[in-house]
Structure formats: C-alpha cells, structure tokens
Structure 1
C-alpha cells in the first residue's frame, strides 16, 4: 500500500473499517494501518466529503504528541478510500479487559482515568476534540498503561464540520447529552464520555445502553445513570462527570485532582469523598416545592387567602414536597362570631363542591396559570370568597347544610338580609341562604 506498507494481519474491524498490523518497509518498523471504508451507502459527493473529513481529522490527530495518545504517522488514499497509519501498541482494549475479567477495582480505574485525562487535556490544548471516547478506544498496554486511540472522528474546534446532514458522529451509549440533543461537541463532551467509560470499567455495565440506538440516545438525555455500587471513592468523580448540563460538569483539572488522590492512597479506595461544589442547578420539576396555588396575574383583583385542606401537615414548609406557598396570615379572632364564621366558610366549601360551582386543582389536570414545571400537587386549594369577612357589628346570614328541609321544592324563598334585617339575626334558625343561591 502506498509503495511502503505491507499488510500482515487484521487486528480488528468495525462498521467504519478494519485495523491491520503492517510493516513499514521504508523505516523498517511495524505499524497499525486503519482502513476507512465508511458507510456502504455513501456515494458521489457524500463519499468525497467523507474522504475530506477523514484526511482533515487525521491531520488533527497528527498534531498530538503525548504518551497517552496513539501517534498518527501518515495518511494516504488507495482502493478508493483513505488509510491512516498509526503507532502500533501491543495491548488489549479496556472493553475486552472488563469483558474477560469483570469490573476493575476503583483504584485501578482511577489510575486509568488519570492517564486518559492527561491525553484528553493534551488534545484539547491543541484544539482537538476526540468525540468518541469509549472502552474500545482505550488501549491497555502490556505494561498496564492506558492509551487513547482512534481519533478517526476527531475534529478541530476551529474548523467547520464536514459531515452528512443529520448525521450524529460517535457511539450512542457514550455520546454526551448536549450532542444527543443536537448540539455541537465541546471539551465537556469528551469528559462526559470519559465518565461513562469509567462507569463501565468499575461497575461492569453500561449505564445508558438500551435495546436500540434511539432508546439509548433517549436514556442519555433523560435518564439518570443509576447507582454506583462498586465505585467507592470514585463515585463522586463519576457523578460529576455525568452531569447532564455541561456547564455543571466536573472539569478536567478537578477530576484529575480527585483521581490522583485515590491513586496515591490519600483517599481510601472504598471511601466516599465530598462532591466537588458546582454551580446551583436551575429550578426543575424535581427541585421545586409541590404547589397547587394558581399563579397570580397582574390584572387579577386581590382576594382573600385560600382555604387549605386540613389534611396538610402543619410542619410542611416551602421547599419540601407537599408544602404550599404561605399566603398572608389570617387575622386571629377568638370571639364566638369568628368561630361561627369559620364553620360557615367550611360549609360553603362543601356546598360549593356539591353544586359544582367551585374550582379545584388536581395533579392530573393543572388549570391554566399554574406554576410551570411543577407537578404532582398534593394539596387542594379552594377560594371561599373574593371579599373580606363582614365586620363583627354586621349581621351574618346563616348557611344550611345540603339536605335542609327548606331546600325542598315548594318552599318559600328566604328573605335576604338586606330585605329584612331581623331575619338575618336569627343565626342558625334555618332561614338563611340556601345552597343553590
């Protein structure tokens, strides 16, 4: 190939091509040659774009010179597709190691993480993003050193992308949420992929792998990664790297500091360490208190405080599940008239519910104007009246419970308080306002 490389044997193959062990007859050394065939459906302009991108990305990887990154020596085109010549590393992949030996000890995974972080930071400093960090692209040498390989889909941060429209480049289970949601790759995206790789290495399973690619991408965007049962002191680092929001994700320097502490024994292997402080998360449905009070509109007239169901615990506080937003304090009146008014208000609520004339809120059907993002309300709130209670020196009409004989058909309509004051003073005589009025 290209007048100098003789293919000896295949070392592995995948959807994009085959990696060969080859001999460089010019320099007299063995190398790895990656044959990049690309997707079979590519043709015409798309095939040309694929070749152009491969050449560009191989050149990007060729800019790197770090012991934690497999070196790229050459690139050429033959048989209608590109070939990349790389450093031959006698090793096995991290994926095959976990498959054969099971989950690795936390300290060993921390050591691998430190070495991979060093390679990624060198790439990022050169403006190169990997975009496909995963266990099968991590080589474990015979000496136990971790080396990052396959920058075949790497990209330069300052280059315009050359990809097919709508194509998502990378392995679904290891793609960062911002990329799975249609965003562009960034340095934090590589750190997310490193976190998933470390999760698999220490737990022995992929946190987001599902039955198909679409379900896997949905899990990446929406699902939590699940419990870390074997990680020990490594758990806070992985948690930090797997923050959905890249702005809150653990940075490379912070992650390296924590991992080195585990490797050097400053932290017990199976102990937990404090989580690195991150900026506060924006409010979400998981962090907001459960509220069932409609949002106040500027044009709405002031109203009296709502009546709260007595099933609510008096210890509930705003910010805890099941709490309501406190309204203005009700005036405390310890007179007999106030107690009568409170009982009257409760009966109004019951009568209103029976007649279907009172609005209510439920968890399944929030009305318009509810607080955005808040779900599962546990408190039902009713508005008793739109005006304050009458002063104590005024007469109060009595309220009969449903089923009072005065409600039967044929009964004379009771006189309202303003029509005849002496009837309003009868209190609970059964001649007050009816439920239907």
Structure 2
C-alpha cells in the first residue's frame, strides 16, 4: 500500500485526540502503510528560542523513545516507530484501549491488596526485563501505567525523567539508578493501595503482607531496597489472578449471604408445608376414629 500525502511521515493519518499519554499530545491515527490503527504521540519539542537546547531536547526525546523500541515485553507498551516532522519528534505506539492507573484510582478509589499485588507483579516483571537490558524508566508513576478492563497493565514513558514518584535520593539531586525505579514502583503501588502518595504523616489504612512488601520497596536507603527481580518474585507470590473489573469481594460476600438466606427460607418454607400437611393428616385420622366409635 502506498503512503498517503498529508499524513505525518507520509503514512500516519491523524483521526482524533486521545488521552492517557502524559508528557505530550497524542492522537489515534491510521497507519496507511500497514493498514492498522496506532497512537501518534508528540514528544517534548524543546525551546523555540534556544536552537541548541531544542536540538538536545529533541535528540534526547528520540533517544528515549528508541529505548522503548528495544523492549519486547507483554507489559511494556509497544513502540512501533519514532520520527521527526517539522523539527518535532513523534513516537508511534500500539492503540491500546486502556486508561492510566491514576485515572483508575481517581474513578474507583483505592484497590484491594490482592489486585495491587497482581498489578505490581506485572509491572515489576516489565521493569526487571528493562533493568536486565540496562534500561531505566526514570519517571515511573501512576500516569505511566496503562490498565485495560481485564486488568492487564502496560508501562509507557521510558526515559523522560519527569513526573512520577521519584526516589528520595533522586529528589535530592542524585542520578537515577535501579533502586530509584524500585522505589518509584513501590510508591506507585502504595498509591493504588492507599489512594495517596507515601511519606505523609497519615498511617496506612491497610495491613498485611502486601503492605509489608511495598514498604520494603520504599526503604529510604537505596542499598536496603530489594532488586526489581526480587520485587517481582514477592509480588507474584502475593498476587491473585483476577481481573481488576471483577466483582468486589464485599459484593461477592453479600451475594453469597443472599443465596444462603434464600436457601434457608426455602428449607424453612418446605418444612412448614410438610409439617402442616402432617397435622392435617393427623387431625383427619383422629376425626375418623371418633366418627367410627359413635356409630358402633
């Protein structure tokens, strides 16, 4: 199929704006060359008043986007292409019907511990794969996690170094490293579990092994934090394989109580009917004996 005129890079026809892509402007688009739908995201363009700075910003944005192209993992958003148009860098990703974790928590509130562990196991596996390739995320947070209706999570936004939940040492000016990604993962999952960022004076509402695992990721000393691979193993062990859209536990218990109550009522009603029938038979039998005695 030939590329089309008027399309970005000669092949991407923009359709409508789409959300869930922090750090830039994004559109749902049609790849006219490969006949598929994608998302085209505008990356930071730099400063128009400083050409040298703009060149550095554009080069970094493209370099960071190309890093994601190297990652082939089921929980990393697929990056198909990176290109420039009118001195503005763009990345082309898969068209995933999903919202961000930040939006999910804002809409539904904090998530149950087992769902948080399941989500964390997916994210830790992706970040562990990135660390194995010497790739850091640098800006990990709830707005960089896309979650589908069935609970599948995918990471986006590798490399920008902005936003997210930075580790204390990074916030203090140190260079990011693998432990800082571990901290950002822990902070993101804590946000999903508690509905707020860690480090405040408010104690956590939840208790149990999932919270303990997250607090382990949030240790102030980078050397005391587990590796991303260790985090993946712990969270996988705590995870329950259920979609985030499943019926909440409380609702399921309520439904169980209704079923049990209904069963008891049916049994009680059946017992009452049986007893009533027996009494009628007994009364009829006594009446028959009394009638027989009178006619003798």
Q: TM-score, normalised by structure 1?
A: 0.51
- Per-residue deviation at 1:16? 3.7
Which residue of 176, 197, 203 corresponds with 1:206?
Answer: 197
Q: CA RMSD in A?
A: 2.0
Residue 8 of structure 1: CA displacement?
A: 0.8
Residue 38 of structure 1 and its aligned partner are, at CA, apart by 3.8
Contact 1:93 1:136 in 2 (8 A): yes
Shift of 1:80: 2.2
Partner of 1:22: 29
Q: Name the counterpart of 2:227.
A: 251
The alignment of Structure 1 onto Structure 2 pairs a total of residues equal to 234
Q: Which residue of 2 aligns with 1:180?
A: 171
Indicate the SS of the match to 1:75: strand
Distance 1:151 1:260 in 2: 23
Query: Which position in structure 2 is the counterpart of 1:320?
Result: none
1:170 to 162, 168, 177: 162
Aligned partner of 2:182 in structure 1 is: 191
Partner of 1:140: 147
**Greater helix share, 1 or 2?**
2
* Matched residue SS, 1:48: helix
Note closer, same or farther for the CA distance 1:15–1:39 as it changes in structure 2 (3 Å cut): farther
Cα deviation, residue 232, structure 1? 2.7
1:5-24 per-residue CA deviation (whole Å, 9 max, x = no partner) reads 01111112777420111110
Q: How many angstroms apart in 1 are the aligned matches of 2:204 and 2:234?
A: 17
SS at match of 1:7: strand
Structure-2 change in CA distance of 1:183 and 1:106 (3 Å): same
> Displacement, 1:83?
0.4
Paired position in structure 2 for 1:151: 158
> What 5-or-longer segments of structure 2 have no aligned partner?
1-7, 242-296
Structure 1 gap segments, 5+ residues each: 154-168, 209-223, 266-437
* C-alpha distance in 2 between matches for 1:50 and 1:141: 31
Per-residue deviation, 1:140: 0.7
> Greater relative contact order: 1 or 2 (C-alpha under 8 angstroms, separation 6 or more)?
2
Aligned to 1:390: none
DSSP 3-state at the match of 2:41: strand
**TM-score, length-scaled by structure 2:** 0.74
Answer whether contact 2:44 2:57 (CA < 8 A) is retained.
no
Q: Of the candidates 87, 91, 102, which is equivalent to residue 95 of structure 1?
A: 102
Q: How is 1:391-430 mapped onto 2 (pairs within 5 angstroms)?
A: none
Contact kept, 8 Å, 1:132 with 1:175, in 2: the verdict is: yes
